[in-house]
Structure 1
Amino acid sequence: MDDSGKSDGPVPSAGTKSIDDATRATEEISSEIMDLIGLKGKATEPGPRVSECGDGKDREKYYQMYHPWSLTPASGSELNGVMERLKEELPKHGWKIVQYEQDNSANKNLRLTADNDDRKFSLRIVHLAKNKRPQLSVGVVSGCYQVPDGERVDRF
């Protein structure tokens, strides 16, 4: 997954699902990740959004879900150790850690990327420790869904 939530490679098929059902599945994943983070704080409000699958797929039949959000705790020190704990806990919940390293930014933010092949979702969490208000930036992205017969993707 790149910084916009798009997959770095071909987007895996996630099967057939209505946009409403895919939205609920994406919200469920985000909620589970919030529970695993285990901190109280201010989370951003916008919900999942529909995006294109790319790879030349028909925009009226194929789509994927992307849910970017962030969590800002009352104190930045509350984030200490969270990424290490997530690296240990996510695999216990079906996630495979595919990247865990500092990024190339001047701040050298710690970045974790994980895939859940069974649920056809990817996850990227970045610990923005040096921001004025330290926070976790989270991106949840699905595989490529196809709408059920008789439906079409009507929003991007």
Structure 2
Amino acid sequence: MSGNSSDLGYVPRVREIETSRAEAKELSSQIFDAIGLKGQISQPGPGVSRCDKDPKVLYKIRHPWSLWGVPEAAMEKAMERLNDELPKRGWKVTSYGRDSSRAKNLEIIADSKKFDFSANITFMDKRNPSQEAPADLSKTSGIVVDVVSACFRVPDGKVVDAY
């Protein structure tokens, strides 16, 4: 083990990158199911990036996506539903309420300790004139989801570059 892992405040679990990618997809699916809305969805899929502390062997998974094309009132209700449903699905909601942005977006931050992932889920409401949204939501309201893992370590003998 590298001495760098103590800099993270935890010892990264050894995980195959594809296993972590599959978990990110599954966790995103749980969130999507709990949202319970049928709209347009961006689906870039989970990506891999290196962790700064030991980039040859430490990596994290990030799965950002968004949903739009449904009425704002339905999205507000979906956020309430998420706050209730995520704990039933193994998530711990650590924050629910208005964020610190100028737009005061409704936000949920939740952790999945079982899989070492966190989710930041934000309702960006275009009815709010101070809203600044990502490009795919520049003209409409939507729910933006970002599922991010802790740093994981590739198995011995492998490096992040090999992926």
1:34-49 maps to which residues of 2 (within 5 A)?
A: 34-49=32-47
Q: Which residue of 1 aligns with 2:117?
A: 121
Q: 2:49 aligns with which of 48, 51, 76?
A: 51
Distance 1:70 1:127, change over 3 A: same
Q: Residues 12 and 120 of structure 1 are in contact (CA less than 8 Å); yes or no, is this contact kept in structure 2?
A: no
- Distance in 2 between residues matched to 1:51 and 1:147, nearest whole Å: 12
Q: TM-score, normalised by structure 1?
A: 0.84
- Distance in 2 between residues matched to 1:79 and 1:25, nearest whole Å: 25
Q: Residues 94 and 110 of structure 2 are in contact (CA less than 8 Å); yes or no, is this contact kept in structure 1?
A: yes
1:127-146 maps to which residues of 2 (within 5 A)?
A: 127-130=123-126, 132-146=139-153
- Distance in 2 between residues matched to 1:46 and 1:11, nearest whole Å: 30
Q: 2:20 aligns with which of 19, 22, 26?
A: 22
Q: Residues 73 and 79 of structure 1 are in contact (CA less than 8 Å); yes or no, is this contact kept in structure 2?
A: no
Unaligned runs of 5+ in 2: 1-7, 132-138
The aligned amino acid for 1:32 is Q
Distance 1:77 1:67, change over 3 A: same
Q: Residues 110 and 128 of structure 1 are in contact (CA less than 8 Å); yes or no, is this contact kept in structure 2?
A: yes
Equivalent position SS for 2:143: strand
**1:33-58 deviations in Å (ceiling 9; x for gaps):** 1111111111112111112323x2x2
More helix by share: 2
Equivalent position SS for 2:60: strand
- Distance in 2 between residues matched to 1:126 and 1:74, nearest whole Å: 15
1:1-156 maps to which residues of 2 (within 5 A)?
A: 10=8, 12-13=10-11, 15-54=13-52, 56=53, 58-130=54-126, 132-154=139-161
**How big is the shift at 1:78?**
2.4
**How big is the shift at 1:150?**
1.8
- Distance in 2 between residues matched to 1:153 and 1:98, nearest whole Å: 31
Distance 1:11 1:74, change over 3 A: farther
- Distance in 2 between residues matched to 1:12 and 1:138, nearest whole Å: 25
